[in-house]
Amino acid sequence: MKKLLLLFVCTLLSLSIGAADKQSIRINTDNIDLILQVSPKNRLYQVYLGEKLNSTADFDHFNWNIYAGSDGAYGIRGREAYPGSGGEDMFEPALAITHADGNQTTYLYYKKSTQKAVPGGTETIIELADDKYAVQVTLHYVAYMKENVIKTWSEIKHNEKSSIILWRYASGMFYFNSSKYFLTNYHSDWAREGQPAVQQLQFGKKIVDTKLGTRAAEQSEPFFEIGFDQPAQENQGRVMLGTIGWTGNFSFTFEIDNVNCLRVIPAINSYASNYKLKAGENFKTPEFIFTLSENGTGQASRNLQNWARRYQLWNGEGNRMTLLNNWENTAFDFTQETLALLMKDAKELGVDMFLLDDGWFGNKYPRKDDRAGLGDWEPTRTKLPGGIPALTKATETAGVKFGLWIEPEMVNPKSELYEKHKNWVIELPNRETYYYRHQLVLDLSNPEVQDYVFSIVDRLMTENPSIVYFKWDCNSPITNIYSPYQKANQGNLYIEYVRGLYKVLDRIQAKYPKLEMMLCSGGGGRCDYQALKYYGEFWPSDDTDPYERLYIQYSMSKFFPSKALAAHVTNWNRRTSIKFRTDVASMCKLGFDLDLKTMKPEDYKFTQDAVTNWNRLKNVILDGELYRLISPYETHHMAVNYVSQDKKKAVLFAYDLHPRYSEPQQAVRLQGLDANRTYTVKEINLMPNTTSALHCNGQRYTGDYLMKVGLMVLSAYESASRVLELTAE
Ligand code: DGJ
C-alpha cells in the first residue's frame, strides 16, 4: 500500500513539471487544471485555469506572452500569478508594499516550487522574491483531487532594515476568459441572510467586502458564485464557487480588464489596515477556497460540501446533536426550576441536548436584559442558586446533555469586567462612544485579553466537565475602532483581532478536542470556513419563519453541507403548521426552540415522531449528496433530495410556499439515485392519525423512473410540505 502511495506521489511530481523547454507548474484535481508558467524573465504567469487537460504535451502550446506582452516587448499587462504594485500590469495588484525606504513597487521573480502529498490531494508551494528588496512571497495551492476543490493562500516575509507597510495582500489571484461573466454575491442583514444578487460584470471593478470586523458577514456574505457566458445555472454550464476563510473583514475584487479577462482577487479587506510588518515576521493570508464545475452550481456545491465534511469542518464526518434551546421560549426569564422542567421536556421530545441560551450570568450587574453583564461569566446567584453544577446535574437526571451560550468576545459597560479592565476594550479615547446592542468588543489583539477569553471557556469546562457544547455568540461588529494595546499600529488591529481569536480557538481545541461549538453572530453574521475548523455548525439566521428559512437555507446550501447549518423549529410565523416548520428545519441539523407544553397534543406527538425519523435518516441528510431540484427563487415551491453515498437511501423534501390558486403542478424529478436500483417510496412526517394522500406512497420505482419521470409531490396549498423516504431493495 505504502509503495503504491509512493508511486502515486512520484507520478504527481513528474506530472507537475510539463514540457521541458517551458517551465510549467501544474496544479490539478480530477477535473480541474491550473497551469502556471515561468517566463524567460523569470516571472510567474497563469496560463490556464479550467477543465482538466488530457495531455501534458499540449502544455507546449501555452505561452506566457500570449496575452499581449506580459513582461515581453509591449510590457503593459499580463496574467501574473501574484502581481505586485507598480509593475507592468496596471490593474489591481495582489500585493502592494511600501518598503522601508518609501518605494512602493514590488516585482516578484520565480525561485523554486515543490509539491507534496497532503490528505486528499497535493500541495504546491511556490517561492518568489523581489530582486531589489529583501521580500519573499510563498504561494500555496492545495488541490483536492476527488472533490475538485483548490485552496490557496500566500505568505509574505521580508528582511528589510525596518518595518514595511502592506496595503494589499491577496490570498491569490485568478484569471478567466469568457465572453460574459455573471456574478452572484449574497448580501445580508439581521434576519435577512443569504440574499442573492445576480449581475453581469462589465469593464472595471466590482468589490464585495465588509468593514464590520467581528460580526463581519452581517451585510455581505464571504462567498460568491460566477456563471461563465450565462448566469449560473443549477445543472449545466461552467460555474465557479469561491469563499474565503477569514472571520473578519474580507474583500472580493472582480475586475474585468481591457481584453475582457476577469480577474478574481480574494483578500482580507485592507480598509483601515495598512499593516506594519516587522522584519523576520511572516504574514499569512487567509485561505481562499474554490471549485469549478462544468455542470452547473449543483455539482459545484456537492464538491464544496464533500470537501468541507472531509477536510475542513470541525468533526466533519462525525455526529451532530439534536437539541432544545430556551431562547425563543423564555428569553432572559427563567429560573433553575423552570430550566429543569425544560430539560425533562427535551428528553420527552427525544432530542440529545438542552441548550441554555443568554441570561444566566452576572451578579453585580445581572443579565436580565441585553444591557448588562457581558464579561462577568459567573452564574447569577439569585436566578441560579446552584450555579452551572445544578444545571448539569438536572440534565443528567433528565437524561440529556448540556450546552451553554456564551459571548466571550464582548463586554457591556455595565459589568465588573469593564470597571476593572477598561484598557481591554476597543474604544476610542477621544470621541463619544457609540454602542451596538449596548456592548463593546474586547481587544483580542492583546495577548492578556486572549488569555482572559480562553479562561472563560477553560474555567467553565474545568468546573463543569459535562458541558458538551457551547453556542458562541457575537452580537456586535467592532465599533469605535481603537486599540489601547496596538498604540501606534492601529492599522494592524482588524487583522490582529482575528488572529487573536484563532489563537484562543486553537487553545480551546487543543485542550478540549471533543467540545462541540456552534458559531453564532446575531444570527448568521459569521459563516466562514476558517471559523468552521473550530465550530461544527453555525446559526444561519435568527429568522426561523419557515418561509424565510427556505430561502436562506437554499442559499447557504450552495456553499455549506447541511451538517453545518443549524435549523430550529420555533414559533416564528406560527400561522404555519408545526409540520411545515419541522419539515423545513429537518433538511438541516434539527433543533427546537419553543414551548412544548403549550402545543396541541397532536402537534407534540408529531414533533416526537419527526425527531425519531430525523435520527433514522440523519446519515443521509447530513452526510449524503444534496441535489437542489426546485428553487424558491424561481417558483412558488422548493424541493431538494439527499442521497446516501452508497445510493441505497434517499430523502426528498418538497415544500409549497405561496402557490397560485389551483396552480397546475409538475412532477418533481429526483437526482443522484442509482438508475438501476428499485426504491420503495414512503411518506414520513405525517400528522398523527393521518395517512398519506400521495399516489406514490408505498410504490416501488426504479431510480431511472424517479429521475426521468419524477413524483407528484407538490400542491397548490399554501405552506404545505412532504417528506419522502426512499429505500433501495
Ligand atoms: C443572538 C442569537 O442569534 C440568538 O439566537 C440568541 O442567542 C441571542 N443572541 C441571545 O442574546
Write out pLDDT tens, residues 18-61. Answer: 444 568 999 999 999 999 999 888 999 999 999 999 999 999 88
542 lines ligand 1 (CB under 6 A): yes
Distance 392 CA to ligand 1 centre (A): 21
- Ligand 1, residues 473, 474, 541, 568: which to mutate, most atoms within 8 A of Cβ? 473
Q: Is 358 annotated as a binding residue?
A: yes
Distance 270 CA to ligand 1 centre (A): 30
Question: Whole-number mean pLDDT of the chain?
Answer: 95
- Ligand 1, residues 475, 518, 539, 594: which to mutate, most atoms within 8 A of Cβ? 475
3-state secondary structure of 493: helix
Task: Work out whether strand 220-228 and strand 204-209 pair parallel, antiparallel, or are unpaired.
Answer: unpaired
What is the per-residue DSSP string for 325-358? E-HHHHTT---HHHHHHHHHHHHHHT-SEEEE-S
What pLDDT shows up at residue 9?
A: 43
- Taking only the tens place, the pLDDT of each residue in 379-419 is 999 999 999 999 999 999 999 999 999 999 999 999 999 99
Q: Where are the domains of the chain?
A: 82-304, 628-728
pLDDT band at 597 (very low <50, low <70, confident <90, very high): very high
pLDDT band at 3 (very low <50, low <70, confident <90, very high): very low
Q: Which three cell numbers stand for residue 376?
A: 462577568
- Taking only the tens place, the pLDDT of each residue in 516-543 is 999 999 999 999 999 999 999 999 999 9
Distance 456 CA to ligand 1 centre (A): 19
Distance 407 CA to ligand 1 centre (A): 9
CA–CA gap between residue 17 and residue 6 (Å, rounded) = 18
pLDDT band at 10 (very low <50, low <70, confident <90, very high): very low
Q: Is 437 annotated as a binding residue?
A: yes
Q: Is 542 annotated as a binding residue?
A: yes
Closest-lying ligand 1 atom to the alpha carbon of residue 523? 3
405 lines ligand 1 (CB under 6 A): yes
What pLDDT shows up at residue 77?
A: 59
3-state secondary structure of 555: helix
- Taking only the tens place, the pLDDT of each residue in 94-148 is 999 999 999 999 999 999 999 999 999 999 999 999 999 999 999 999 999 999 9
Active-site residue (options: 257, 473, 528, 545): 473
Distance 248 CA to ligand 1 centre (A): 19
Cα dihedral sign, 304-309-314-320: positive
DSSP 727: E
What pLDDT shows up at residue 62?
A: 85
683 lines ligand 1 (CB under 6 A): no
The stretches of 353-446 forming alpha helices (DSSP H) are: 387-398, 416-420
- Ligand 1, residues 324, 326, 334, 358: which to mutate, most atoms within 8 A of Cβ? 358
What pLDDT shows up at residue 88?
A: 84
522 lines ligand 1 (CB under 6 A): yes
Q: Which CATH number fits domain 628-728: 3.30.70.3270, 3.40.50.1820, 3.40.50.620, 2.60.40.1180?
A: 2.60.40.1180
Residue 487 has pLDDT above 80, yes or no: yes
Q: Whose Cα sits closest to atom 1 in ligand 1?
A: 522
Distance 288 CA to ligand 1 centre (A): 29
What pLDDT shows up at residue 78?
A: 74
Closest-lying ligand 1 atom to the alpha carbon of residue 539? 3
Active-site residue (options: 89, 209, 542, 593): 542
pLDDT band at 8 (very low <50, low <70, confident <90, very high): very low
Closest-lying ligand 1 atom to the alpha carbon of residue 521? 3
Bridge partners, residue 143, by sequence: 122, 150
User: How many percent of the chain have pLDDT more than 90?
Assistant: 93
What pLDDT shows up at residue 647?
A: 98
Of 623, 668, 628, nearest in space to 648 by CA: 623
Distance 541 CA to ligand 1 centre (A): 10
What pLDDT shows up at residue 22?
A: 65
Query: pTM of the predicted model, to two decimals?
Result: 0.96
Cα of 566 vs its chain's centroid, Å: 13
- Taking only the tens place, the pLDDT of each residue in 543-559 is 999 999 999 999 999 99
Residue 67 has pLDDT above 60, yes or no: no
- Ligand 1, residues 436, 517, 520, 594: which to mutate, most atoms within 8 A of Cβ? 520
Distance 358 CA to ligand 1 centre (A): 7
From 84-93, 199-208, 303-312, 547-556, the region with the lowest mean pLDDT: 84-93
327 lines ligand 1 (CB under 6 A): yes
DSSP 312: I
520 lines ligand 1 (CB under 6 A): yes
* Across 590-602, average pLDDT: 97
- What is the rounded end-to-end Cα distance, in angstroms, of the chain? 34
Residue 76 has pLDDT above 70, yes or no: no
What pLDDT shows up at residue 63?
A: 73
CA–CA gap between residue 635 and residue 249 (Å, rounded) = 34
**CB-CB contact of 482 with 491 (8 Å):** no
470 lines ligand 1 (CB under 6 A): no
Q: Is 357 annotated as a binding residue?
A: yes
CA–CA gap between residue 193 and residue 51 (Å, rounded) = 32
* Across 160-186, average pLDDT: 98
Q: Is 190 annotated as a binding residue?
A: yes
* Tally of CB atoms within 10 A around 161: 11
Q: Which three cell numbers stand for residue 88?
A: 507592468
CA–CA gap between residue 377 and residue 412 (Å, rounded) = 12
Q: Does the annotation count 458 as an active-site position?
A: no
Q: Whose Cα sits closest to atom 11 in ligand 1?
A: 358
Q: Which CATH number fits domain 82-304: 2.120.10.30, 3.10.110.10, 2.70.98.60, 2.20.70.10?
A: 2.70.98.60
365 lines ligand 1 (CB under 6 A): no
357 lines ligand 1 (CB under 6 A): yes
What pLDDT shows up at residue 14?
A: 36
Burial (CB count within 10 angstroms: exposed 0-12, middle 13-18, buried 19+), residue 386: middle
CA–CA gap between residue 336 and residue 386 (Å, rounded) = 8
Distance 544 CA to ligand 1 centre (A): 12
Q: Whose Cα sits closest to atom 9 in ligand 1?
A: 522
Q: Does the annotation count 33 as an active-site position?
A: no
